[in-house]
Amino acid sequence: MGLKRKSSAQGIDPGRRRFIRIATLAAPATAVTTVTGGAALLDPARTASSAGETAYRPQYFNADEWPALNALVDRLIPADAAGPGALEAGVPEFIDRQMDLPYGHGELWYMNGPFHADAAPQFGYQLSLVPRELYRHALRGLDDAMRRDHGKHFSDLADSDKDAVLHQMEGGKLAMGEVPAATFFAQLLANTYEGYFCDPVHGGNHGMHAWQMIGFPGARADYMDWVRQYGARYPLPPISRG
């Protein structure tokens, strides 16, 4: 199986915003301009919803899955004084759109067996489920686990309880059916980061506010004069490819 980047525990720590900013600034610029993890490009005609338009309606996730997905990414990157949260950035929209692209159908992954659930982490993803199937099975398993353990849906839990559940998932300590909790957490966190920092043409990073937060210039044709000006703030606003 192809290797997949593992997620960090800092994704749900109190200092998550600071970690996101530091991690992104340390990464190559090209890692932010593209959709990482193999997610495919969208048709530029299908750009993110702008202010004044109707709320985004999911094309893949159903009425039971959509509230859970929104609640999950909201706790991974909540809004605060430093910048927008995952909901304001349109992360759920980004993930939903990816599910109907080659990425969601697993066409960009090596998906031939054998699959070994007990394989060491360095052997990467070991499930036969493509991303859209992974989300479907995992969200169903999460809902079953929440009704079993809390008597309510994940989206109805208090924020502190949601965070506790996310810690359980990250540590692989939540029984949620056929999808290992830690595997789903890693996938969700990676896609949340992607949707938060992607070019808005992919459906996330609404208003390019995440780029503004870290001072990223976006898809400008030339900013070589500023590459070696360490510590200097780039004076121009970011530009999207859309």
In the predicted model, is pLDDT for residue 51 greater than 80? Answer: no
pLDDT of residue 191: 96
d(CA 80, CA 57): 25
Average pLDDT over residues 3-15: 41
> Which of 43-57, 106-120, 191-205 is the most confident on average?
191-205
Does residue 137 register a pLDDT over 50?
yes
Distance CA 154, CA 171 (A): 18
Q: Which of 99-108, 112-121, 160-169, 198-207 shows the lowest mean pLDDT across its residues? A: 112-121
Average pLDDT over residues 186-207: 94
pLDDT at 150: 97
So what's the pLDDT on residue 83? Answer: 86
Quick one: what percent of the chain has pLDDT higher than 90? Answer: 50
- Report whether pLDDT(23) > 90: no
Q: What is the mean pLDDT of residues 31-48?
A: 36
The pLDDT of residue 16: 54
Sign of CA dihedral 119, 20, 162, 36: negative
Instruction: Give the pLDDT confidence of 60-115 residue by residue, as tens digits.
Output: 999 999 999 999 999 999 999 888 999 999 999 999 999 999 999 988 877 787 77
Q: What is the pLDDT of residue 82?
A: 84
* ω into 114 cis (within 30 of 0): yes
pLDDT of res. 65: 97
Give the model's confidence band at 38: pLDDT under 50 very low, under 70 low, under 90 confident, else very high: very low
Give which of 118, 122, 129 is closest to 3, Cα–Cα: 122
Whole-structure pTM value: 0.76
CA distance 238 to 159: 33
Comparing CA positions, the residue from 124, 122, 117, 120 lying closest to residue 179 is 117
CB 162 within 8 A of CB 41: no
pLDDT at residue number 100: 95
For the chain, the first-to-last Cα distance in angstroms comes to 34
The arithmetic mean of pLDDT across residues 224-232, rounded, is 82
Mean pLDDT of the chain: 79
pLDDT at 186 over 60: yes
